[in-house]
Amino acid sequence: MIVLKFGGTSVGDAARVREAAAIAEAQPMPRAVVVSAAGGVTNKLLEAARAAAAGDTPQAQAAAAAVRQRHLEIVRGIAATDERLVALAELDQLHAALDESLASVTAAGSLAARDTDRIVATGEKAMSVLMAATLRGRDTPAIHVFADRVVATDGRHGSARPDRARTREQAAAVVRPLLDDGLTVVLTGFIGGAPDGSTTTLGRGGSDYSATLLGAALDADEVQIWTDVPGVLSADPRQVADARVVPQVSYDEAQELAHFGAKVLHPRTIRPAVARGIPVRILSTFAPDEPGTLVTRDSAGASDGLKAVTALRGLLLVTVDVPELEDLAGASAKVFGALAEDGVEVISVSQASSRRRMAYLVDATAQGGCARVQRRLVGVLDGADFEADVGCTEDVAVVAAVGAGAAARPATLARMLDVLGRAAIPVLATSQQDPNVALVVAVPVAHAERAVRILHDAFIRPQPASARGRRLRRAELLAESESRSVDRRWVSGAGGGGGELEWQCADSIRTSHPALRTEGRERRE
């Protein structure tokens, strides 16, 4: 069973929706498709909601009309007339509900998080209608399902947390029968349902998160994230011209890359897949024949080298010094508590060699920067009778070099520091833990881009063309897989009859689907 997720750029207009539909049709059944709103639609819906709250009815109506026009343009791309009419009728209902919600916000004179979730969900709901109708217009049986009936969450509107057990129950009751009937089920990404039945949203990265939540709930064989990039890259291509796709990473490596600034995945996205051991593949709708990046529990065949370098900017480096070592744990607890209360994200923490200093790399730009954070922590520590010096440096970036094989060796960090030192890039803090898959250095933000380029050049040099060979395209991998026969036979376990049974597959092929190839058949750069 395959779950495919298409992002906003992948369903941005009628042509892209048709291309996404063709990609979905090429996957084996059963399959579920998760869709985002068309690119730019969510921003327009937020614009309409804020204008309505401000009493600017003309602007709210204009933004809502722009959303409707965008959806009508996509409807015109549906091949079958009857499916166009069905989609138009369903869209009329969604847009009528949008108008009612905006009018309600205008009357209230304020915009509650509950209202925002209900309004912005219109984009995903409309796209699920459009994608299902497009598939049916291509003679592929399909049905749309709004995920607020399936993805169960708590009641925190704007950034709801999923209830995985309840989601699994609802997926079995709502989605599984449709899949068993041979339908391609198109679900809304980004949204869920609160216990009171209201629509919630999952926050930043919510559509990808929806895909892995649903994949875990349906025991999918693979979750595919179709986006506008060809996979996980070894660096930001805007900064490193020779950045390349990393063929395979582990769950831990993917989460670290996402945590430290790589945009292809949100850190939460991988977690549901980890719990069920489901492979996640990152693919591009703009290059659908490319194999992309496979994310699995273990990075099969991982070399000793680093795989990617990324940077996260706009951070603060907060230091807390105490005179006595025995005060450090208590002071640290107070610091963590204050940061948590203020909603400050902690990126990395390390303890200095003096053993009496803690260094916290935090994302607190939205909370007022150093002036507020330093004042807050001084007050908290003084109130708890801790004698401590609190320092703070702004405009800091974290540069993370990720790769399980290399990160476990102290020599790699020593070499990183040597490379940066030779380039006269000041290092404000470092972090290496065992076991870990990332080496982290903090540098002034003005040096971050050059640090990424230098480390990429030093550790992830492009392979010569003669050594690389040609990587198989996705279509070739699929054709190769389908041409190999699978010979399954039962083999008795130790002890003879009644013993444990296991599957054996000839030629080490466990399935005809390329997503589940054995490690030896993966082609890498």
Taking only the tens place, the pLDDT of each residue in 179-200 is 999 999 999 999 999 999 999 9
What domains sit in the chain, N to C, each tagged with a CATH number? 2-39+124-228 (3.40.1160.10), 308-459 (3.30.2130.10), 467-521 (no CATH)
Which DSSP category does 368 fall into?
T
CA distance 372 to 250: 38
Mean pLDDT of the chain: 85
**Residues forming a β-bridge with 4:** 33, 224
Q: What is the pLDDT of residue 304?
A: 58
Taking only the tens place, the pLDDT of each residue in 119-172 is 999 999 999 999 999 999 999 999 999 999 999 999 999 989 999 999 999 999
Q: What is the pLDDT of residue 106?
A: 97
Query: Cβ atoms within 10 A of the Cβ of 5, count?
Result: 28
> What does the radius of gyration of the chain's CA atoms come to, in whole angstroms?
25
What count of residues does the chain have?
Answer: 525
CA distance 372 to 176: 51
Percentages helix, strand, coil for the chain, rounded to the nearest 5?
45, 20, 35
Determine the 3-state secondary structure of 342 from DSSP: coil
CB 128 within 8 A of CB 188: yes
Taking only the tens place, the pLDDT of each residue in 50-82 is 999 999 999 999 999 999 999 999 999 998 999
CB 401 within 8 A of CB 438: yes
Q: What is the pLDDT of residue 161?
A: 94
H or E segment and range at residue 48: helix 41-53
- Which residues lie closer than 8 Å to 120 by C-beta, 6 or more apart? 37, 42, 45, 46, 49, 201
Q: What is the pLDDT of residue 496?
A: 35
Instruction: Give the least confident one: 167-176, 263-272, 382-391.
Output: 263-272
CA 297 to the chain's CA centroid: 16
String of DSSP letters for 110-176 = S--HHHHHHHHHHHHHHHHHHHHHHHHHTT--EEEE-GGGTSBB-S-TTS--B-HHHHHHHIIIIIH
Q: Which amino acid is at 80?
A: A
Q: What is the pLDDT of residue 435?
A: 60
pTM: 0.81
Q: What is the pLDDT of residue 442?
A: 92
Q: Which amino acid is at 186?
A: V
Asked if residue 475 has pLDDT above 70, the reply is no
